[in-house]
Chains A and B, each alone.
Chain A
């Protein structure tokens, strides 16, 4: 987990709206990056930067909706808050189906917007942490041999060494050795930690 500060990305073709939002977010200590068009945002966006996206729904060239679809296509999972000059029901429904956090009609209540921004940042952080944990767990588990992986799965599903030895038709001692190596490779301090790592990896054998 990096300590990088969350950024709110503002995409709106209206200069005044962008400027006012920057000022507002700055006044509450949130850093911002603003772009006048979806294309400009895509050109500069680094998916590694945490934060959320505040997006105007209707813009020339590429609309907010289209940007949402483009990001989804690249598996970028950044929380999006839509702003709309004239929202309508089918449009907002579509936005929510695409995973939007909220859909606010201009002129919006700034308190609600700030609240949603905080929520979105929290959501993003949680998403990123979950992603980081999974990556970390996968990295650790990737060092295991096939046999060690097999043994690990039986350990975390609550089997004793003896049971494992019988099941795999190996000696008790061999299982002991495998177990020691697994704990060493995954750097797990306890059985509980090993279970956490296995779960975080999203290993499908556990589901």
Chain B
């Protein structure tokens, strides 16, 4: 009977595996978030460099071009300018100049003409050439007619000035200059500025002072005119603009990177949560499966223990039964001989009383021995069969479960022919299973001894009579010898070196106790067949 303990395998640490997997997922997601963020930053940094470079080039070109064209203009209109210089009150000349300027510089904001001392010939802007403009003019003259422009206010609005000397080359007679609205600059910024970024024109000589943005000049700005230190920190790229007092910088929106980080982190968190949830569910499933597996294993062990227990009981019972049968025969003969002797003495005339006494007590003692054997048999006897409905095919399948690996190992082919829809048999499932197992073991043993033919084990079940089921086990072993077939069921009969010779005797006892029959069939060719019947009647 197979009752070896299966190796107890340590149950897998699913929890630890899941935790490690989750940690790896978390690390991967963090890594990916960081990389995405770096890429985003790199992209916007590049964007800032491109925008600043493009816008700064354009603004430099604009200013340089204005300075160049104004010098040419002053040269061209020299006669007119000289006329105004000689006769400052000539409205006609002034109008002519204004018209010419309007034609060439339609966007100009104000027109001013001075002598070499910087005095204004004709006050423009209703005398609005203020202190800052004066400073500008003087610095222009003092610095040799080059000028770094900037935006400054006058009563009419913010503007920036572009100046050109007029008169003979190398000996200028004064300054001709035009004021322009800062919107010209703002337009360029607006066109080039990338979404999420602000291009700012800052005063190079006054830290953080904003001169113009894409929205316009200082007056239009809805916030302070200077950048906070925090904003200065945030600047991605900056460049000085030639011929001006300006730096062009790119300031990203305060939310730009923060939003990106939040979005990526949120995405990572969602993915992580999904992984964690799926992982937990799988873990739970695995735990449940593991639990079921352990339960099933336990059940198999219990079943094996039951079989082993019944096996021991049966062996004891069968040994007692066998002994009883063997001993009862001689005891019976002894008792009967004594009785016969007593009756013979009765017929004698001279009765030997002592001999009669001896015979009588010998008879009584043999009866007593019989009583002892009977008592012992009751004690170890198989008792009353527990009768329950059993599915005989299921019992066969259960028994096969024990020898499956042995069949594989010994290269024995199995041919199962189980009738479908069999009615339930009545009896003790464990005991019937033991009978089947016993027959299977005998069959395997028989085939193992004959190596010259293919090994084939055939098991069939059928409805053989009205209330009888028949199970047959056929093997392709050497078969049974007709001469010994009668003794194979005897208690203690065995062909094996280490067999006890109880298997078939026990099996027959069990089947007989169930009201069935177990017999060997010597007529089937090519091996041995054992049949047994069980009743489907409930009684």
Complex-state Cα separation, A91 to B513, whole angstroms = 8
Q: Are B329 and A16 in contact (CB under 8 A)?
A: yes
Q: Are B340 and A105 in contact (CB under 8 A)?
A: no
Q: Are A24 and B486 in contact (CB under 8 A)?
A: no
Q: Are B324 and A86 in contact (CB under 8 A)?
A: yes
Chain A hits for B333, CB < 8 A? 14, 16-17, 19-20
Q: Are A86 and B377 in contact (CB under 8 A)?
A: yes
In this assembly, does A21 line the interface, its C-beta being within 8 Å of a C-beta of chain B?
yes
A86/B325 contact (C-beta < 8 A), A16-B330, A24-B339, A107-B370 known: yes
Chain B hits for A14, CB < 8 A? 329, 332-333
Chain B hits for A23, CB < 8 A? 336-337, 340
Q: Are B329 and A21 in contact (CB under 8 A)?
A: no
Chain A hits for B336, CB < 8 A? 17, 20-21, 23-24, 107, 110
In this assembly, does A3 line the interface, its C-beta being within 8 Å of a C-beta of chain B?
no
Nearest CB on B from A151, distance (A): 48
Q: Are B329 and A91 in contact (CB under 8 A)?
A: no
Number of A-B pairs, beta carbon distance below 8 Å:
82
B80-135 CB contacts (< 8 Å) to partner A: none
Q: Are B340 and A24 in contact (CB under 8 A)?
A: yes
In this assembly, does B41 line the interface, its C-beta being within 8 Å of a C-beta of chain A?
no
Chain A hits for B461, CB < 8 A? none
Q: Are A27 and B330 in contact (CB under 8 A)?
A: no
Nearest CB on A from B340, distance (A): 4
Chain B hits for A90, CB < 8 A? 512-513, 515
Instruction: Indicate with 1 or 0, residue by residue over A92-120, a CB within 8 angstroms of chain B CB atoms.
Output: 00000000000001111111000000000
A18-71 CB contacts (< 8 Å) to partner B: 19-21, 23-24, 26-28, 58, 60-61
Nearest CB on B from A105, distance (A): 7
Complex-state Cα separation, A90 to B325, whole angstroms = 17
Closest CB pairs A-B (n = 8): A20-B336, A16-B333, A27-B343, A110-B339, A106-B332, A85-B325, A23-B340, A24-B340
Query: Contact residues of B with A, CB < 8 Å?
Result: 321, 324-326, 328-337, 339-340, 343-344, 347, 363, 366-367, 369-370, 374, 377, 486-487, 490, 512-513, 515
Query: Contact residues of A with B, CB < 8 Å?
Result: 14, 16-17, 19-21, 23-24, 26-28, 58, 60-61, 83, 85-86, 88, 90-91, 105-111
Q: A17-B336, A26-B340 are in contact. List 8 more A-B contacts (CB 8 A).
A: A17-B333, A27-B343, A27-B344, A58-B325, A85-B328, A107-B331, A107-B332, A108-B332
